[in-house]
Amino acid sequence: MFNIRLISAVICFLILSLCKSFAQSTDNLIVAGQRYTTNSKILNENRNYSVYLPSSYKNSPDKKYIVAYVLDGERSKFLEVSGIAQSMHSAINLKLQIPELIIVSIENTDRTRDFTPTNSLNYLDREDIAAFKNSGKANDFMNFIEKELMPEVNKSFRTVPQSMIIGHSMGGLFALHCLIENPKLFSYYLLIDPSWFWDHNYIGRRGEEILKNRTDLKARVYIAIANNMLDDKRHYEWGQKFYNLLRENKSPDLKVDLKYFEDEKHLTITIPATYYGLRYIFQPYEIDINQVTIDPNLLTNYGSKIYKELFWETKPDEKFVNTIGYVALYDRQIPDIAIAIFEINTKNYPKSLNVWDSLAEAYIVNGYIKKAIMCYQKILEISPNDSNAKKKLEELSKK
Residues 341-383 pLDDT 10s: 999 999 999 999 999 999 999 999 999 999 999 999 999 999 9
Q: Is the pLDDT of residue 150 over 60?
A: yes
Residue 370 CB partners (closer than 8 Å, separation 6+):
none
Looking at the DSSP bridge assignments, the partners of residue 90 are 95
Q: Is the pLDDT of residue 32 over 90?
A: no
Q: How many CB atoms lie within 10 A of CB 40?
A: 18
- Residues of CATH 1.25.40.10 domain(s) within the chain? 289-397
Model pLDDT, residue 109: 98
The band of 177, judged by pLDDT with boundaries at 50, 70 and 90, is: very high
Sign of CA dihedral 13, 19, 23, 27: positive
Q: Is 214 helix (H, G, I), strand (E, B) or coil?
A: coil
State the pairing for strand pair 188-192/89-90: unpaired
The angle formed by the CA atoms of residues 176, 177 and 180, to the nearest 5 degrees, is 85
Model pLDDT, residue 291: 95
Model pLDDT, residue 231: 82
Of the candidates 245, 263, 247, the one whose C-alpha atom is nearest the C-alpha of residue 255 is 247
Rounded mean pLDDT of 312-327? 94
- Please answer whether residues 285 and 310 qualify as being in contact, where contact means their C-beta atoms are separated by less than 8 angstroms: yes
- Please answer whether residues 220 and 187 qualify as being in contact, where contact means their C-beta atoms are separated by less than 8 angstroms: yes
Q: Is the pLDDT of residue 18 over 70?
A: no
H-helix segments, 212-349:
234-247, 270-281, 289-292, 297-300, 302-310, 318-326, 335-348
- Residues of CATH 3.40.50.1820 domain(s) within the chain? 2-285
In DSSP notation, 35-76 reads EEEEEETTTTEEEEEEEE--TTTTT-TT--EEEEEESS-SHH
Model pLDDT, residue 1: 44
Model pLDDT, residue 250: 95
- Please answer whether residues 165 and 71 qualify as being in contact, where contact means their C-beta atoms are separated by less than 8 angstroms: yes
Q: Is the pLDDT of residue 340 over 60?
A: yes
Q: Is the pLDDT of residue 20 over 70?
A: no
Across the chain, mean pLDDT equals 92
Residue predicted with more confidence, 398 or 163: 163
Rounded mean pLDDT of 59-69? 94
Model pLDDT, residue 5: 57
Please, how many CA atoms are within 13 Å of residue 262, restricted to the half-sphere of its CB? Answer: 3
Residue pLDDT, tens place only, 186-241: 999 999 999 999 999 999 999 999 998 899 999 999 999 999 988 889 999 999 99
Strand arrangement of the beta sheet that strand 65-70 belongs to:
34-40, 45-52, 101-106, 65-70, 159-168, 188-192, 218-226, 253-261
Q: Is the pLDDT of residue 273 over 90?
A: yes
Residue pLDDT, tens place only, 66-105: 999 999 999 999 999 999 999 999 877 778 999 999 999 9
Model pLDDT, residue 11: 57
- Give the span between the Cα atoms of 375 and 278, in whole angstroms: 38
Q: Per mean pLDDT, which range of 7-16, 291-300, 373-382 is the poorest?
A: 7-16
Rounded mean pLDDT of 263-273? 97
State the pairing for strand pair 65-70/101-106: parallel
Model pLDDT, residue 24: 45
Q: Per mean pLDDT, which range of 105-109, 158-162, 392-396 is the poorest?
A: 392-396
Q: Is the pLDDT of residue 397 over 60?
A: yes
Model pLDDT, residue 25: 46
The CATH fold of domain 2-285: Rossmann fold (3.40.50)
Rounded mean pLDDT of 320-340? 96
Indicate the Cα dihedral angle 89, 94, 95, 101, nearest 10°: 20
* pTM, rounded to two decimals: 0.90
Superfamily of domain 289-397: Tetratricopeptide repeat domain (1.25.40.10)
